Amino acid sequence: VNVNRSQTATASARLEQIPAPLVPPDVDTPCPIVDLAVLDRNIAAMQAAMDAAGVRLRPHVKTHKSTEVARRQLAAGAQGITVGTLGEAEVFADAGIDDIFVAYPLWCGGSKAARLRAVHERTQLMVGVDSVPAVEVLAKVFTGAPGAPGVLVEVDCGAHRSGVRPTAVGEIARAADRAGLPVHGAFTHGGHGYASPAARPAAAEDERSAMEIARCTLDAAGMSTDVLSAGSTPTALLAAQPPITEMRPGTYVYNDAMQVALGACEPAEVAFFVAATVVSSAVDGQVILDAGAKATSRDVVTQVQGLGWLPGYPKAEITALHDYHAFVSIPDGSAAPALGEVVSLVPTHVCPAVNLYDELTVCVDGRVVDQWKVDARGRSG
Ligand code: PLP
């Protein structure tokens, strides 16, 4: 209990340091704002860290879903991108990005077979698998085709979502090889590093040791281990060591209240905010913002008290999000934004927040410099 208490205290102390961004005057709220200088710094810093570690960076694009941001990551030195859905792969392939890893146990039902073949024809494609039946379905999709995508076998290193134990990769890899799917290695995602600040180094170590066991298992099965891919934003900087060859963080581009609370980014590294207006202060001890559940993420995260964070108003707590209303509770005697004031809301979890918008307003020092499309918005399958 004491450990949890001290972690909570540290988390709120970190959240209190998030600087309130300059919001452009006369912005139409709710408005998703990207701080371009912070975004570019985040992209450069992650790239520099991976370069220094000798690990390839293959960022997950599910956070930004934006071809403009992906181009910036590739220009900074990223080698290919990671996607979570075939729909995302299609959007980024259409934009000319030709090195794509679908880090997901794709099951090719419905139109997915034809769609996957079409993406494979125009990209260098890699697909995740975690079962022999999925390998068989995938191989059938490419029967008679001039080539087939490479596969990485997914390993569960402790997140207990998808993936097999690292000692079990051999059977799946051999099945893929027999079915004519080129095996390149294995991948894992230490999602359990999200549990607490202390869970981050432990999950990073789990990623590394799982990839080491997978490497030995694949070696023993006579399979390639060219790619040993891991990563999440909370573990990326900690796990980037041999035998891992590739890292796939995604959230680091924008960050959010959860990453700040976990200590996975600095408070000044938050690059995405939702500008919102105080539209009502009619009820005592409360203000209402115009950024409800259709404008920011409803994710409840253990490290953050409330459904988002308002820089400059550390005692204000977002207690509920209705479709168009954010309820902000204001304890007696603490600072409250005034009726009509525009505030900046840091989402608890940025990925679903971005997915609510067609376009983002890109700013430098409170000036609007661009509008970027969220190209793969809603491409969830
Ligand atoms: N790889 C996989 C398989 C993932 O599922 C995710 C995120 O869900 C990532 C990489 C990126 O992790 P993060 O969002 O923590 O940056």
Token pair in block for residue 121? 């024809």
341 within 8 A of 277, measured Cβ to Cβ:
yes
Per the confidence metrics, is the pTM higher than 0.95?
A: yes
Distance CA 87, CA 108 (A): 12
What's residue 319's pLDDT? 98
Q: Is 159 in the pocket of ligand 1 (CB under 6 A)?
A: no
Cross-strand partners of 338: none
What's residue 164's pLDDT? 98
Which mutation among 189, 200, 259 tests ligand 1's pocket best, with the greatest number of atoms within 8 A of CB?
189
pLDDT in tens, 274-310: 999 999 999 999 999 999 999 999 999 999 999 999 9
> What is the average pLDDT across 181-185?
98
79 within 8 A of 101, measured Cβ to Cβ:
no
Query: What burial class does residue 224 get, using C-beta atoms within 10 Å of its C-beta: 0-12 exposed, 13-18 middle, 19+ buried?
Result: middle
What's residue 301's pLDDT? 94
Q: Is 235 in the pocket of ligand 1 (CB under 6 A)?
A: no
Does the structure show a pLDDT above 90 at 6? no
Ligand 1 centroid distance, CA of 288 (Å): 33
What's residue 125's pLDDT? 98
Distance CA 316, CA 310 (A): 7
**Average predicted confidence (pLDDT) for the chain:** 96
Does the structure show a pLDDT above 90 at 159? yes
Place of tokens 């230490």: 190
Ligand 1 centroid distance, CA of 204 (Å): 13
Of 16, 90, 11, 50, the residue nearest 380 (C-alpha): 90
Q: What is the 3-state secondary structure (H, E, C) of the chain?
A: CHHHHHHHHHHHHHHHCCCCCCCCCCCCCCEEEEEHHHHHHHHHHHHHHHHHHCCEECCECCCCCCHHHHHHHHHHCCCCEEECCHHHHHHHHHCCCCEEEEEEECCCCCCHHHHHHHHHHHCEEEEEECCHHHHHHHHHHCCCCCCCCEEEEEECCCCCCCCECHHHHHHHHHHHHHCCCCEEEEEECCHHHHCCCCHHHHHHHHHHHHHHHHHHHHHHCCCCCCEEEECCCCCHHHHCCCCCCEECCCHHHCCCHHHHHHCCCCHHHCCEEEEEEEEECCCCCEEEECCCCCCCCCCCCCCCCCCCECCCCCCCEEEEECCCCEEEECCCCCCCCCCCCEEEEECCCHHHHHCCCCEEEEEECCEEEEEEECCCCCCCC
> What is the average pLDDT across 214-240?
98
pLDDT in tens, 263-275: 999 999 999 999 9
Does the structure show a pLDDT above 50 at 20? yes
Does the structure show a pLDDT above 50 at 2? no
**What is the residue with the minimal CA distance to atom 6 of ligand 1?**
232
Does the structure show a pLDDT above 70 at 1? no
What's residue 62's pLDDT? 98
What's residue 8's pLDDT? 61
Does the structure show a pLDDT above 80 at 163? yes
**What is the residue with the minimal CA distance to atom 13 of ligand 1?**
232
Of 360, 371, 274, 281, the residue nearest 327 (C-alpha): 281
What's residue 192's pLDDT? 98
Does the structure show a pLDDT above 80 at 330? yes
Does the structure show a pLDDT above 80 at 3? no
Q: Is 354 in the pocket of ligand 1 (CB under 6 A)?
A: no
